[in-house]
Amino acid sequence: MEDNCRAIHLIFQKGEDGQVYNISSGVELTNLRIVQVVLRLLDKGEDLIEFVADRPGHDRRYSLSSEKLHSLGWRPLHNLQDGLEKTIRWYLDNRHWWEKRLGYEKSL
């Protein structure tokens, strides 16, 4: 969250009007790898992963070039592991906030 907010702030300060600035660390991981990291951080087993058939038009790869953002001087301060851990911790510590907004009262 912090890296993303820093990037947006920098774009407002130094970015050019009308330009698109992708916010990305540049580290590419598969969706499966990200799910595995999240499950490990939650102390959950990979048996929770359910594979489904590909849908028509399924994206094989998600990748953003953040070269323009990097040219403004931005670099991420957190690696993916630490960023996911902080984000997950925030959601676990602030359940009252997001459960109320989603109308979701059931515990994970």
Query: CA 104 → CA 16, 60, 71, 96, 97, distances in Å?
Result: 41, 32, 42, 10, 10
CB 22 within 8 A of CB 65: yes
Per-residue pLDDT, 55: 82
Please state the rounded mean pLDDT for residues 24-32.
86
pLDDT score, position 81: 87
Q: What is the pTM of this model?
A: 0.73
pLDDT higher than 60, residue 107? no
Angle at which helices 80-93 and 95-102 cross, to 10°: 70
CA nearest neighbour of 78 among 88, 89, 86, 90: 86
Predicted confidence (pLDDT) at residue 30 exceeds the cutoff of 90: no
Residue 89: pLDDT band by 50, 70, 90 thresholds?
very high
User: pLDDT by residue (tens digit) across 46-80?
Assistant: 999 999 888 888 777 778 899 999 999 999 999 88
- Whether the predicted pLDDT of 7 surpasses 90: yes
Rounded to whole angstroms, the Cα distance separating 25 from 39 reads: 21
Handedness of CA 100, 102, 47, 31 (dihedral sign): negative
